[in-house]
Structure 1
Amino acid sequence: MDIARFLATIDLLCVRDFPAAHGRTDVGTGGPGYLIAELQTSDDFWEDDGTRREETGTQYEYDRDGLTERLTARWGPPHRVSLASVLDRTLGEEDIPEPWAALSGHVPDLHLWRPAGTERWLALGVSQWDKELSFQLLAVVTEVDPP
């Protein structure tokens, strides 16, 4: 994990303009009102017994927690937010705004801050779209309030 690089990316996201349309950016994805940086992505792999997958998921959670410690020193303790109810609401065809609707499908929970003096939210989460796919450590910056 490269904490200095991750913090630099987060600092950039906190001041960068949001894209006018949904799509890829130099650090991940974005759209009106949000940016998502893919800070770290695991290698693609598949183990029948799930051992390596489980170890990698645990390591990504440790990396998120290490970064959380640094951000807590800046902005205080995060809100810890489960996205399970957001996923349920999305599947129930409720119109949930982005980035929250998409995140709920692959990020079970977030560490969430609202840095003082800004209108933006910052969130950290560990993503895995499916058990066969890579893990990602994500940083999300958005002006869209959590649902």
Structure 2
Amino acid sequence: MSTAQHLAAIDLLCSREFPAEHGRSGSGVGGPGYHIAELLTSDGFWEDDGTQWEATADQYDAERDGLSVLLADRWGAPQIFSLAGLFERTQGGDEVEDVSEPWGSLSASVPDLHLWRVDGRWIALGVSQWDKELPFQLLAVVTEIDPP
């Protein structure tokens, strides 16, 4: 996908109704109050000494940052919102917190988001990477659910 296609996908997500049920769509996943679109997905399996993995991580961060610059022209500078603490609160221990979607699933694979508040909705960009052996994804999120 090109940058223009990424922007068009985000615009489409902003204009669509949220699904009534959790599930997959052609562009990602959604549920009551949110859409998550997979804008770009890398190849998986990293069998080198880590340099390819690092280069891909850098590439996906650069893709997110470049798209953020264009969105900042529309909506102003993004907030950088860390999900690390949220991830810790949802994992093991005596007091596991139940976090509403999309924030719970995002915290499992996205370290931080570039986040805007526009017309009563949150719009976010993040880079997801579930495990070193799995692909990177550039994600766009549109939700009416406030971050925890």
Q: What CA deviation, in whole Å up to 9, does each residue of 1:63-121 have, x standing for no partner? A: 00000000000000000010011101111411111000110000000000012xx1110
Partner of residue 125, structure 1: 126
Tell me the CA shift for residue 43 of structure 1. 1.0
Partner of residue 24, structure 1: 24
Q: Residue 89 of structure 1 aligns to a residue in which SS?
A: helix
- Segments of structure 2 that go 5 or more residues without pairing to the other structure are none
Count of aligned residue pairs for this structure pair: 145
CA RMSD between the two structures? 0.9
2:100 matched to 1:97?
Answer: yes
Q: What CA deviation, in whole Å up to 9, does each residue of 1:28-78 have, x standing for no partner? A: 000110000000000123224111011001000000000000000000000
Q: Partners of 1:113 and 1:47 in 2: how far apart?
A: 37
Amino acid at match of 1:107: V
Tell me the CA shift for residue 26 of structure 1. 1.6
Amino acid at match of 1:29: V
Q: Residue 120 of structure 2 aligns to a residue in which SS?
A: coil
- Segments of structure 1 that go 5 or more residues without pairing to the other structure are none
Q: Partners of 1:75 and 1:12 in 2: how far apart?
A: 16
Q: Residue 147 of structure 2 aligns to a residue in which SS?
A: coil
Partner of residue 40, structure 1: 40
* TM-score normalised according to structure 1 size: 0.96
